[in-house]
Amino acid sequence: MSLFSIHSRVGVGLLAVAFSLPSPGFAASSGTWLQTRDSNPFALASGLPLAPAIPQEGRWQFDVTFNVANTELAQFRDGASLVFDAETHESRISAAHAFNERWSLRASLGYLTIGDGFLDAPVERFHRAFGFDNGDRGQLGTTAPVIEVRDTGITRYALDKASSGSGPLLIDLTRQWQLSDQHLFGIALGGKLATGSVRRLTDSDSSDVSLSAFSMMAFGERLDLGIRAGMLLRSGNHLLEEHARDQVPFAGIVLRYRLGDKWSAWLQSDAHGALHRRLPDFLGGTANQLNFGLSRRLGNASELQVTLAEDLPALHSSDVALTLNWRMRTGQ
């Protein structure tokens, strides 16, 4: 059974449960989703959109995000190979504004650094604590950073020194419908502009467009549920262009539970289809990043979110990712 089939069944099941539960009222429409994506730099270089951001009418929402992801692996498939030993640091600023109760616009720009990093030892200890031997570091005999993609003896991409630069500019326009006090539905049209570098692995040089639909529901004052699904269309890709797919589906599910007036617990799944053909799973397989998060309100206008992400299935996305996000809203 494919990951997207599993997502679909889980989504249908959650919706069935959702509509059977009593719902006294819908919580604040903004803030239901975490500011996370697949931390694989080949995914960050694409136009895969962030989860929806829906500020309240006439207000702004700002997100300042820092993400660290660490991966070491060697994979092979049908004459193609991948060696990946690197740590990525992404800093991102996003600004969203709701023009009225229906329409909102967001722009997001990131800066990516690829190097040797500092998470090797903590990641190894974390995996060993749970008995996972695929997290051991230092097995490749490489000196990070090393990223090399080969196909039939030809090097398709190679990076062997620290690199940094601006990532793509992401823009999305959202239209929402308040179906009831506790249920919101929306569609989002996203776009990606190439503002980074293929050589530095911060951009694919493509012009991408995405279209997605999402639904958010609240149950009482504590539990929020969100689901989304969409399609990414890519054009002019110069990063592994011989293997790049022009259409990539994506989907996500989020659960947020408020532990009190200030604290919340999160579980969010960010999944997408294969970005490439005939390449090892890290590049050519369906990927999913499962995020476990905690957040704390800082006054009435801001919130601090901390998340830990694991790859599920293993070795299809970044091994371990940590994200720190500071969310601020105007007019609170």
pLDDT at 54: 86
pLDDT at 272: 97
The model's confidence at residue 25, banded by pLDDT at 50, 70 and 90, is very low
Structure confidence by residue, pLDDT tens digits, 272-296:
999 999 999 999 999 999 999 999 9
Q: Based on C-alpha coordinates, what's the Rg of the chain?
A: 19
- pTM equals 0.85
Give CA torsion, residues 30, 91, 158, 208, to 10 deg: 40
Q: In angstroms, what CA-CA distances link 237 with 28, 95, 205, 214, 284? A: 38, 26, 6, 27, 15
Structure confidence by residue, pLDDT tens digits, 258-269:
999 999 999 999
pLDDT at 137: 54
The model's confidence at residue 143, banded by pLDDT at 50, 70 and 90, is confident
pLDDT at 19: 41
Domains and CATH numbers, the chain: 3-329 (2.40.160.40)
pLDDT at 129: 66
Tell me the β-bridge partners of 216.
Answer: 184, 226
Structure confidence by residue, pLDDT tens digits, 303-327:
999 999 998 888 898 888 999 999 9
pLDDT at 33: 93
Q: How far apart are CA 268 and CA 18, in angstroms?
A: 17
Residue 135 has pLDDT above 90, yes or no: no
Cβ atoms 108, 53 nearer than 8 A: no
